[in-house]
Amino acid sequence: MQTDAAPLSTDAALSAVAISALDIFSIGIGPSSSHTVGPMRAALAFMESLPQAPSRVACDLYGSLALTGRGHATDAAVLLGLSGLRPESVDPDAVPATIADIREHGRLVSRTFDTEIGFDESTDLVFHFGEFLPAHANGMRFTAWFAEGTEPVEQHWYSVGGGAVVRGDATSLAPLTPESGHNLRQPFPFSSGAELLALGEETGLCFATLVLRNEGVWRPEAETLAGLDRIIDAMDACVQRGLKQEGLLPGGLKVRRRARTIHTRLRAQKDSFGPAQTFEWVSLFALAVNEENAAGGRVVTAPTNGAAGVIPATLLYYRKFVPGADREGERTLLLTAAAIGFLYKKRASISAAEMGCQGEVGVACSMAAAGLVAALGGTNQQIENAAEIGMEHNLGLTCDPIGGLVQIPCIERNTMGVVKAINAAYLALQGDGRHIVSLDAVIETMRQTGVDMASKYKETSLGGLAANVVEC
């Protein structure tokens, strides 16, 4: 089996692309942004591009999507997308019945064409284990057949991290288009930490305001703020639902949900609250989100699903433990975090199939640290410092999920990420923003580390914990 030949796509062209904060943060379902949300979006886009209703469709999965696809619910995601469902609006509770119906009857009920389409999962959904397409580690090929006399349609799609998908061919990603943000003219464009700091110095604006002004190329400011509020509310709802659930997570590892039990215990100790309980609470918030994610629940990609708990837990830390916290501060936190997320997408990657978990939990930690400093009134220099600290101490973090499931070590790893983020924020606030290692340097180091990392440590479940822990 091929294990060290997974390609690493270059994101150099992305440096000129405008990215929206509402793309960095998007509402979807678990357990994975790159393996669930991305394939679902790609399958839907494929169907919507067809000139007419096909008689049959098929999907071939490659690379990491094949190796860990079943544990990441890629099979279900493809079926849902081909059926015309969207990750931001599908009802997670209805998904099992929808998938069971497709499998029982051997057909899709297409919402795109309002008709039934033949689909035999045993032959029409193929996992090419160990085979990587040259363009990216997360590759898909969709094929549609039509009535006699019409040529079949074949398309290649790639899930490039955080739920984003790009069309291409068997060997490369497609050129960027105006719709992708390539030709949008933002008032304050930036593609590096140094440029971001320079913009702040020139304009006297904080990072959050720069991002908010840039969002104006997509929509009025009021709509952006409303979108951020929806994201904040969805993050909170995910935590609250996670605190109420119990039982075993799906997938066969028999991982028991812990958030509800821990929540009950911490509430009982409210009269004897000590400093250590602050970290117990923020760890609990992250735990609740990622248990929801592992169960296929409604989560906010932030900037991925595997790292979805870090920023919501940081947000709730700010809300519950910082005197004077308000909605404006919460928006500032997200906008600032988005600014840092843009840099990782432009200069490296947030795909664990390319970077390992440093590209997921590491990036989320860096974003959260920066956002918290901003919400606490820190300077742009302190924000950049916090982002650098947050990544510096996640460099080399591997992605090695046991059984291909986003459970071990993913769930607990988010609790570690939020604690690191808060620590990084307060370390940065203790200084004046001057530091030795720049954010740009640490992002480039992460990218180089991802290039050097063996593919068995990049979301293939062929190494690390996945290879050394016997599944029960």
More confident: 180 or 331: 331
Question: What value does the mean pLDDT of the chain take?
Answer: 93
Q: Is the pLDDT of residue 243 over 50?
A: yes
Q: What are the distances in angstroms from CA 427 to CA 274, 378, 423?
A: 21, 11, 6
257 torsion bin: left (phi>0), alpha (psi -120 to 50), beta (else): beta
Distance CA 287, CA 318 (A): 17
The set of residues, in sequence order, having a beta carbon less than 8 Å from that of 164 and lying 6+ positions away, is 23, 38
More confident: 30 or 6: 30
Distance CA 287, CA 91 (A): 22
Q: Is the pLDDT of residue 395 over 50?
A: yes
pLDDT of the residue at 8: 42
**What confidence category does residue 274 fall into, taking pLDDT thresholds of 50, 70 and 90?**
confident
* Span 333-348, average pLDDT: 98
**DSSP assigned state of 458:** B
Contact between 298 and 29 (Cβ < 8 Å): yes
Report pLDDT digits (tens) over 410-461.
999 999 999 999 999 999 999 999 999 999 999 999 999 999 999 999 999 9
Strands (E) in 49-152, as ranges, are 56-62, 107-110, 115-118, 125-128, 139-145
Distance CA 455, CA 63 (A): 10
* Span 183-203, average pLDDT: 95
Q: Is the pLDDT of residue 177 over 90?
A: no
Q: Which amino acid makes up residue 307?
A: A
The set of residues, in sequence order, having a beta carbon less than 8 Å from that of 423 and lying 6+ positions away, is none
* Span 248-274, average pLDDT: 93
Q: Is the pLDDT of residue 4 over 50?
A: no
The set of residues, in sequence order, having a beta carbon less than 8 Å from that of 141 and lying 6+ positions away, is 59, 60, 62, 154, 155, 156, 157, 170
Dihedral angle at the C-alpha atoms of 449, 450, 453, 458, nearest 10 degrees?
A: 150
Q: Which amino acid makes up residue 224?
A: T
- Tokens 């699903």 correspond to what residue? 305
Peptide bond into 323 cis (omega under 30): no
Residue of 410, 399, 89 lying closest to 249 (CA atoms):
410
Distance CA 292, CA 31 (A): 8
pLDDT of the residue at 299: 97
pLDDT of the residue at 5: 40
pLDDT of the residue at 471: 56
Q: Is the pLDDT of residue 174 over 90?
A: no
* Span 86-91, average pLDDT: 94
- Dig out the tokens for 261 from the structure: 């039990």
Contact between 362 and 394 (Cβ < 8 Å): yes
In residues, how long is the chain? 472
| End-to-end CA gap in the chain | 24
Angle subtended at Cα 383 by Cα 382 and Cα 387, rounded to the nearest 5 degrees: 115
Report pLDDT digits (tens) over 135-163.
999 999 999 999 887 899 999 999 999 99
pLDDT of the residue at 172: 87
Residues 355, 357, 360, 365: is their CA dihedral positive or negative? Answer: negative
- CATH code of domain 11-19+185-457: 1.10.4100
Q: Is the pLDDT of residue 182 over 60?
A: no
Report pLDDT digits (tens) over 443-457.
999 999 999 999 999
Distance CA 253, CA 244 (A): 21
Distance CA 462, CA 418 (A): 27
Alpha helix positions (H), 348-435:
352-355, 361-375, 380-392, 410-429
* Span 335-349, average pLDDT: 98
Report pLDDT digits (tens) over 366-391.
999 999 999 999 999 999 999 999 99
Domain limits, the chain: 11-19+185-457, 33-173
**Residues of the chain with pLDDT > 70: what percent?**
94
Does pTM surpass 0.85? yes
Distance CA 410, CA 279 (A): 18
11-20, 324-333, 365-374: which range is least confident on average? 11-20
Q: Is the pLDDT of residue 12 over 50?
A: no
Distance CA 189, CA 246 (A): 46
The set of residues, in sequence order, having a beta carbon less than 8 Å from that of 202 and lying 6+ positions away, is none
95-99, 173-177, 236-240, 352-356: which range is least confident on average? 173-177
Q: Which CATH class is domain 33-173?
A: alpha beta
What are the helix and strand counts (H, E) for the chain? 19, 9
The set of residues, in sequence order, having a beta carbon less than 8 Å from that of 56 and lying 6+ positions away, is 117, 118, 119, 124, 144, 145
Residue of 448, 331, 450, 437 lying closest to 390 (CA atoms):
437
pLDDT of the residue at 324: 97
pLDDT of the residue at 117: 96
* Span 37-49, average pLDDT: 97
- Tokens 């956002």 correspond to what residue? 371
Strands (E) in 7-103, as ranges, are 26-29, 56-62
Q: Is the pLDDT of residue 10 over 90?
A: no
Residue of 162, 31, 44 lying closest to 92 (CA atoms):
31
